[in-house]
């Protein structure tokens, strides 16, 4: 099983879309193994968005991300990184395919509801940035045989 992160941005909370987004993740078959609400600090954001530090949108992005609390979710599932990234849709809401979170729920590029890492390495780095090991709660799932086609004794 693979783990990844989904960050629900301040606009997701302000628009009261948290429950709808979480429902989509669970409907897909992803398991929530950690969740918390937090106000992001300048230090955490600087580390999270290090790759964008020299870009013109960096400062407005940080201001937007500090405009309200966020919900941080640790997810687990088969190919979770790719699955969650596909579910989020293209970064710019107006370019995102219908059926994705952004394609169905937003039109903007900054107020685009969610952030998800695009590689396993990025997912592990970001999970460690937002969650301590003791804040992740893997638990046995009884419905895995209905989510994944598993042969007797096979693990997902």
Catalytic residue among 115, 116, 130, 131: 115
First-to-last C-alpha distance (Å) of the chain = 6
Sheet containing strand 2-8, strands side by side = 31-38, 70-77, 2-8, 114-115
Of 151, 138, 156, 146, the closest CA to residue 33 belongs to 138
Residue of 27, 16, 123, 144 whose CA lies nearest to 73: 123
Q: Where are the alpha helices (DSSP H) in 5-49?
A: 10-14, 18-28, 42-48
**115 flagged as catalytic:** yes
Distance (Å, whole) CA 150 – CA 152: 7
Catalytic positions are 115
């Amino acid at each position: 099983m693979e783990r990844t992160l989904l960050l629900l941005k301040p606009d997701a909370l302000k628009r009261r879309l948290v429950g709808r987004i979480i429902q989509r993740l669970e409907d897909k078959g992803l398991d929530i193994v950690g969740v918390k609400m937090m106000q992001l600090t300048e230090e955490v954001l600087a580390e999270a968005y290090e790759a964008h530090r020299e870009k013109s949108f960096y400062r407005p992005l940080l201001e937007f991300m500090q405009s309200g609390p966020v919900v941080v979710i640790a997810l687990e599932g088969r190919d979770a990184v790719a699955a969650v990234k596909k579910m989020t849709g293209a970064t710019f809401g107006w370019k995102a395919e219908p059926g994705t979170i952004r394609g169905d729920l937003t039109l903007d590029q900054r107020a685009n509801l969610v952030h998800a890492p695009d590689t396993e390495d990025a997912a592990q780095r970001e999970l460690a940035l937002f969650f301590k090991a003791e804040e992740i709660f893997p638990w046995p799932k009884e419905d895995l045989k209905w989510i994944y086609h598993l042969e007797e004794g096979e693990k997902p």
